[in-house]
A and B are shown apart, each in its own frame.
Chain A
Amino acid sequence: MTVAIVDCGGANLRSVQRAIELRNMKTTITNKKSDILKASYVILPGVGSADSVMSSLKSNDLVETIKNLSQPVLGICIGMHILFESSEENHTSCMGIISGKIKKFKFKDSFKVPQMGWNKVSFLDNAQKTLDEHYYFANSFYAQVSDDTRAKANYGLPFSAVVRKNNFIGCQFHPEKSSTAGTKFLDYFFKSI
């Protein structure tokens, strides 16, 4: 059981790796097709920008590989954004696994951009209500609430905190930085998807 953490050029891979190692799972940080294909789980970590992550995936010829994966895939923050069709962040065209566009938060009232800090997340399905907690967010861009939304949060407007399409899960927050709440969310990902 190996977890492939896809190296898409962004930083902060170590925190994601550490969160998974603490679960006694083997990890590999990689941009090789073969490693990703044979992994039991795949994580698209998310620090950077949508365009930098997409161009890194393209230059390693990984876009089609990722789109065709059948094992559970978790996209974190930017890693979630690139699952969508496109992002307003530098007008980036993304993988299109989930329909919809990633939009930018607009400053209004006291809602500053980026959203930075711990926000309350509400899961829509009763089975996941025990995951309703504060999670750590650091984002200027967001996914609107849609049919693929599995959990919502509010920042001046409601947005998707967790999305799911088949074996692809995306979370806008950083589970690896969300203390015990993040650990519980990763439990859910590794055990229930």
Chain B
Amino acid sequence: MITKRIIPCLDVKGNKVVKGIRFKNHQIVGSIVDLAKKYSNDGADELVFYDISASTEDTIVNKDWVSKIADVVNIPFCVAGGIKSLDDAKTILNLGADKISINTPALDNPQLIKSLSNEFGSQCIVIGMDIKLIEGQGYLFAKTGSEKTAYATNIKAIDWLAQVQDLGAGEVVINAMGQDGVKDGYDIELLKSLEERCFVPMIASGGAGGPRHFIDVFNETNVDGALAASIFHKNEFTVLEIKEALINANINIRI
């Protein structure tokens, strides 16, 4: 049986890994290549690199670090941030990334999902959804790389989820904006409100603070993976420690 995935997420800005709280006040936490290597050796199932400067500053991600990652890790990794065209995607994939994740450019131009999926296959195409509950209803946010540029759209999460699957997305990352960097658990309510309408792999993001949160999200929802940043970057827990706790809780995990 396929295992649940533990996915460290590295927010990248200016060739360094950074982490903020609720998408603000980013601090440098280390070098991209060193952290990629460390997490891969610790047993991460996959890595996500999110260039938070790219989407907000209208530049495509600086390509050099993608090939450096491909040289040091032998697990899959996904690159996100500012990928707006087939050419952008092709560049990133050819440098060794396995998947690309798009967020704001997909909201601006949903047909991009279809052309990416037709060209590279849906298994390469991940849609990142930054969601905030407003009066009990999940809405999409765009340009969330910086507090200055982030804005609410009038697109409901449940509608967007259906649309991206129709257009050929192969995976969705559900990022609960209210939970980002707060470390009091994944947003189970939000995930549960979306899971019945999701027929592609779904990844939980935002709120991981300790092993209990991973156990809860896998026991209470049917997500395929859980993404986390702060707890790994700050050395609060290693990937292996989280995985051991999950195995003790009888969750199907690769070690």
Chain A residues near B (Cβ < 8 Å) = 11-15, 18-19, 47-49, 52, 78, 107, 110, 112-120, 134, 136-140, 154-155, 174, 176-179, 182-183
Contact = CB atoms under 8 A, between A and B. Distances in A.
Interface stretch (B13-21, B54-62, B67-75, B140-148): B67-75
Given A112-B224, A179-B40, A13 B74 contact: no
Contacts of A134: 3, 254
Interface residues of B, number: 39
B167 to A, nearest CB: 15
Contact of B70 (A18, A52, A114): A18
Output the residue of A118, A119, A136, A176 with the most chain B CB within 10 A: A118
A177 B71 CA distance: 12
Given A14-B94, A14-B95, A138-B170, 5 more contacts: A11-B120, A113-B200, A138-B99, A174-B76, A177-B76
Interface of B: 1-5, 40, 45-46, 67, 70-71, 74-76, 90, 93-99, 119-124, 170-171, 198-202, 222, 224-225, 254
Contact of A177 (B2, B98, B202, B224): B98
Nearest to A22: B74
A14 B1 CA distance: 29
A106 B184 CA distance: 36
Contact of A179 (B67, B74, B120, B201): B74
B33 to A, nearest CB: 14
B124 A112 contact: no
11 contacts: A11-B90, A15-B98, A18-B96, A52-B119, A117-B4, A117-B5, A120-B1, A139-B123, A154-B1, A174-B98, A177-B74
Contact of A182 (B74, B124, B200): B74
Given A116-B171, A119-B3, A177-B74, A12 B96 contact: yes
Contact of A138 (B76, B95, B119): B76
B49 to A, nearest CB: 15
A154 B3 CA distance: 12
Nearest to A48: B121
Contacts of A52: 119
Contacts of A114: 122-123, 170-171, 200-201
Output the residue of A117, A155, A176 with the most chain B CB within 10 A: A117
B98 A117 contact: no
A119 B171 CA distance: 17
A148 B200 CA distance: 30
Contact of A119 (B2, B90, B122): B2
A117 B224 contact: yes
Contact of A116 (B74, B198, B224, B254): B224
B199 A113 contact: yes
A111 to B, nearest CB: 9
Given A12-B93, A118-B2, A118-B45, A136 B75 contact: yes
Nearest to B225: A117
A155 B201 CA distance: 13
Contact of B199 (A107, A119, A176, A177): A107
A12 B119 CA distance: 13
A183 B94 contact: no
A178 B74 contact: yes
B96 A14 contact: yes
